[in-house]
Structure 1
C-alpha cells in the first residue's frame, strides 16, 4: 500500500508543477532546541497538544539538525522495561533525536515529498518533514502531505488539466444531478454548448501552444462570466458547456431564459482581452437546450443541444 501511494505521488504532476503546491505551503513553524537540553525539559514542551515534533540543533555542530517526534519521545521514555523516563530524564535531547530526518527545501513539490516520505523505513515513514526557512525552521506532517496528494489526485480525475474546468465526465455528472433534483417539478435545467471555431486551423498555423493558450484564456473568461448558480466545463477538445437551473416557469419563459443565458455567455467571450490579436480571437458556435417541466433528462438535453449545435455549424458553412 505504501509503495502504491508513493508511485501515485510521483505521478501527480510534472516536477515543479503540481497543483498541490510546494511543501512550504504545508509547513508550520517548529520549535528548535539545542541538543544538550535535558530530556525532562523537552518532555514539558510536548505537553502542549499543538507540538507534534521538535527540531534539534546540534550544539557541537550547527550544520547538523535532527528531529524528535511525539511518538518517538513517548517510545523512548517508556523504554523496553518501563524505565525509560528514569534513565533519560537528565540525558541530553540529542540522545533521543533522529539525526537523519527528511529535510526538503521549501520549494519542493508536495508530490515529490510524498514519494520521499513513503520511501522511508516503516519506523520513520510518518515522521514530520523538516523544512528550512530563511530565518526559522518549519515542519509538515506526513498526514497533511498525503492528504494534499490525495486531493490532487481526486481533482485531476475530475478536472481538465489544461483549463482546470471540470472535464466531460464531471460535467455530465453535474448535469445529471441537476436533472435529478428538479425531476417531477416545474423547475428547468438549461444546457448551453459552445464550440470554438477554427481551433484546428489555429493549431496548424501558429502551433499547439497558442491553441492551448487560447483555450486557457477562454476557460478563465468563461469561469468569470458565470452567473450565480451556473457552472462550466470542458466537454471536448474545442467544446465547453454551461449548466444552469431555472426557477419554475412556463415553456415560453424557459425558452427565453435559456436563450438569454446563451447570449450572455457569448457576449462575455466575444471581444479579445488585452494582449490578444482580434484576428486570432475565435468566434464561437453555440446552442441552448432546456428541460421539459417535470421530466428533466440529462441524455436528452445533451442530444438536443448537440443537434442544435450541429445545425448552427452547418448554417455557418453555407454562409
Structure 2
C-alpha cells in the first residue's frame, strides 16, 4: 500500500558480521617448499595482497613454518645492509619462523588471543597460522584482538539468547534517532511487540522450549526488517523495532507506521519452516510515531506502551 515500507529509514543501522572462530579472520596463504630460493620468495611478496606465506619443510612435510612480509624485509635488510646479497640464493627455510602459533580453524578468537598473548613479548604480535586439511590461512594478532574486543562489546550490549541489542542499547538507539530528527519533516517510528503465552509455553514444554521460541522470534523479526530499521529485546517477552520515516504528512505517517507494524506481525505470525512442531505464541504489536521534525524518545515509548495496553484490553474482551 505504501512504498515507504521499503525505505523507512534514512539512517541505516549497521549490521555486524559475527566472528565465530579464527577461521573467519584468516586469509588464505600460499604454501611454498623450504628449498625455494629466497630470491624467488621475494618475487612472491611483490604482490601487494601477499602478507605471509606458509613454509613446508621439504625434508619433514609435517613441519610447517611461516614467513611474513615484515620478517622477510628484516632478513633481507640485515644488520649491515647485506642481507639480500647473502640470502638471495639461500633456501626459504633459512628465513622461515619454524615455531609459529598454529591453531585449528574452529579455535575461538578468545582462545587464539589467549595463546597469542602467552607468547614472549617479542613474538606476541606475530601472525597466527590456521591449519587446514587442504589449505592454510593466516590471521594477524591485531585482527584477532580486535575481534575479541568486538565480541566483548557485543556481549555487554546484546541479549545473550536472541543476539539482539538489549533494552539499554535499544533505547540508546531510539534516542540517537530522535536526536537526528531536527526539522525537515522526518519522523521516528517505534513498534512494540508483545509476546503472549510465554509462561504457558515454559510451564507446559519447559524453559528450553521457551528459549527456542524467543530465539526463533528474534530471527523472524530480523528477517522482517526493512533496510535501515533496528530491532531489540526490551523485555523478557517484549521486542521493539525502530525506524525513521522520510518527510510526509500526518496521514501518510500514521499509515506508514501501521504498515510497518503489520509487516512485522505478518513475518512473526509463524516460525521458519524448519522450526518443527513446537508451540508458537500469539503476538500483538502497537506503533507510535513522532510529529514532523521533532521526536522525543520517552514520549514515543509512552505512546507505544499505551497503545499496546489498549490492544491487550481489547483482546481480553473478545
Q: TM (normalized to structure 2)?
A: 0.81
Residue 232 of structure 2 aligns to a residue in which SS?
strand
CA contact (8 A) 1:20 1:111 kept: no
Matched residue of 2:292: which SS?
coil
CA deviation vs aligned residue, 1:195-218 (integer Å, no higher than 9, x gap): 111212322322221111111221
Query: SS of the residue aligned with 1:103?
Result: strand
Q: Distance in 1 between matches of 2:219 and 2:47?
A: 45
Q: Confirm or deny that 1:95 pairs with 2:107.
A: no
CA distance in 2, matches of 1:267, 1:210: 22
Seen in structure 2, the aligned counterparts of structure 1 residues 266 and 139 have a Cα distance that, compared at 3 Å, is closer
Shift of 1:228: 4.6
Given the alignment of the two structures, is residue 67 of structure 1 paired with residue 63 of structure 2, yes or no?
A: no
User: Which residue of structure 1 lines up, in the alignment, with residue 208 of structure 2?
Assistant: 209
Unpaired stretches in structure 1, ≥5 consecutive residues: 1-17
Question: Which consecutive unaligned segments of at least 5 residues does structure 2 have?
Answer: 1-16
Q: CA contact under 8 A between 1:117 and 1:126: conserved in structure 2?
A: yes
Q: Distance in 2 between matches of 1:273 and 1:55?
A: 43
Structure 1 Cα separation of the partners of residues 46 and 272 of structure 2: 57
Question: Is the contact between residue 265 and residue 284 of structure 2 (CA under 8 Å) also seen in structure 1?
Answer: no
Give the Cα separation in 2 of the matches to 1:24 and 1:238: 35
Q: Residues 186 and 76 (structure 1 numbering): CA distance in 2 closer, same or farther, change over 3 Å?
A: closer
Tell me which moved more, 143-152 or 93-102. 143-152
Secondary structure in 1 matching 2:59: coil
Provide the secondary structure at the position in 1 that maps to 2:103. Answer: coil
Q: Kindly tell me: are residues 310 and 48 of structure 1, through their superposed partners in 2, closer, same or farther at Cα, counting changes over 3 Å?
A: same
**Distance of 2:131 and 2:272 partners within structure 1:** 41
Q: Measured at CA, do residues 90 and 253 of structure 1 come closer, stay the same or move farther in structure 2, by a change above 3 Å?
A: closer
Residue-by-residue CA offset, 1:17-42 (whole Å, 9 max, x unaligned): x9413333333332333333343443
Q: In structure 2, what is the equivalent of residue 170 of structure 1? A: 169
The 10-residue stretch of structure 1 (45-54 or 197-206) with the greater mean CA deviation from structure 2: 45-54
Superposition pairs for residues 236-275 of structure 1, below 5 Å?
A: 236-271=235-270, 273-274=272-273, 275=275
Corresponding residue of 2:188: 189
Q: State whether residues 288 and 305 of structure 1, in contact with CA within 8 Å, keep that contact through their aligned partners in structure 2.
A: yes
TM-score, structure 1 as length reference: 0.81
Task: State the shift of 1:86 in Å.
Answer: 4.2
Calculate the aligned-residue CA RMSD, in Å: 2.9
CA 1:209/1:65 → structure 2, altered by over 3 Å: closer, same or farther?
same
